[in-house]
């Protein structure tokens, strides 16, 4: 399986990369970095560092968008730390970014292997929107796309309605969700119910290898933020759940096929993700549907995430 990861590492992005890197059947077609959890300079550097940590040095990493299509960027360093990895110091990366932009690398990769590459999008969707501008046939060149983002039947995590990745570039999200990709949208609907609890975090802390020890250190900062949200020591596993759904679709035990839109004009609801969930939705809606998971097997996922770090 060839996977192109578009991400903004980021602590939960780190776990997603660990999940993918542990699988011998996964080949990285490339990594595109984007602003989001931190500036694109930080996220690009972190992508290179994490590939070294998880044993996948040499994968092409491209610097992507430094800002949204329209609005000013709003970064998430208060969740991930100033260095994006929970203030944990990691070795300098062995590689450097390629000269292409993330959008250019994705388009070139897709053209070279039509129908063979899956995209896992874990940050704002700016790079994908820019890639669509370069290659309008991208939805037919890629095999499928799994996006972590949105909040359809759950509260947002930035505003009462908006999830962070969608909030960071709603215009890009609206373009990508309507483009016609074979897409699964892993939203807060499932990620906020897929949490790493205290016993799991303790078990991770007992794993005796560099990957697990460093990842556990990353999570301490992240857990500190989420403990304030949940009131107990645990954290949401947004991006690694999306990685797991990409590789193991059977983890999704219930889903719906619906068109999803992004509100761009609302004074209070900008970046809200909207789906027509009525029993009989509008018959004349020509917008492409996406797969929206509504239930996942949390316990199996958490076991596999630990296995990826053993």
> What positions carry a catalytic annotation?
8, 238
How does strand 235-236 pair with strand 195-196?
Answer: antiparallel
DSSP 40: H
Please tell me the total number of residues recorded for the chain in this structure.
Answer: 310
CB neighbour burial string for 66-96, b if at least 16 within 10 angstroms, e if fewer: ebbbeeebebbeebbbebbbbebebeebeee
Query: CA dist 251 to 26, 123, 195, Å?
Result: 18, 22, 15
Distance of CA 91 to the CA centre of its chain: 24
Burial class (CB in 10 A: 0-12, 13-18, 19+), 276: middle
Please give the Cα distance from 29 to 290 (Å, whole number): 24
The secondary structure of residue 228, as a DSSP letter, is H
């Amino acid at each position: 399986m060839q996977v192109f990861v578009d991400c903004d590492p980021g602590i939960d992005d780190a776990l997603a990369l660990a999940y993918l890197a542990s699988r011998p059947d996964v080949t990285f077609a490339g990594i595109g970095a984007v602003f989001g959890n931190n500036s694109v300079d930080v996220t690009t550097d972190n992508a290179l560092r994490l590939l070294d940590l998880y044993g996948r040095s040499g994968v092409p990493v491209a610097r992507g968008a430094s800002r949204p299509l329209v609005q000013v960027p709003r970064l998430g360093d208060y969740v991930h730390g100033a260095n994006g990895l929970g203030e944990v110091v990691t070795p300098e990366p062995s590689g450097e970014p390629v000269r292409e932009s993330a959008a250019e690398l994705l388009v070139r990769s897709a053209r070279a292997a039509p129908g063979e590459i899956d995209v896992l999008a874990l940050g704002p969707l700016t790079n994908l929107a820019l890639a669509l501008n370069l290659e309008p046939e991208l939805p037919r060149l890629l095999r499928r796309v799994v996006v972590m983002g949105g909040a359809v039947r759950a509260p947002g995590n930035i505003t009462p309605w908006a999830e962070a990745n969608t909030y960071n570039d709603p215009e890009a999200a609206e373009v990508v969700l309507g483009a016609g990709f074979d897409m699964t949208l892993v939203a807060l609907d499932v990620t906020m119910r897929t949490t790493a609890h205290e016993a799991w975090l303790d078990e991770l802390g007992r794993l005796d290898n560099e990957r697990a020890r460093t990842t556990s250190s990353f999570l301490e900062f992240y857990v500190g933020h989420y403990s304030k949200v949940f009131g107990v020591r645990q954290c949401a596993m947004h991006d690694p759940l999306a990685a797991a759904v990409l590789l193991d679709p059977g983890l999704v035990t219930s889903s719906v096929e619906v068109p999803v839109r992004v509100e761009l004009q609302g004074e209070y609801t900008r970046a809200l993700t909207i789906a027509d969930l009525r029993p009989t939705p509008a018959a004349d809606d020509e917008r492409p549907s996406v797969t929206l998971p509504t239930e996942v097997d949390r316990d199996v996922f958490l076991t596999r995430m630990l296995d990826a770090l053993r």
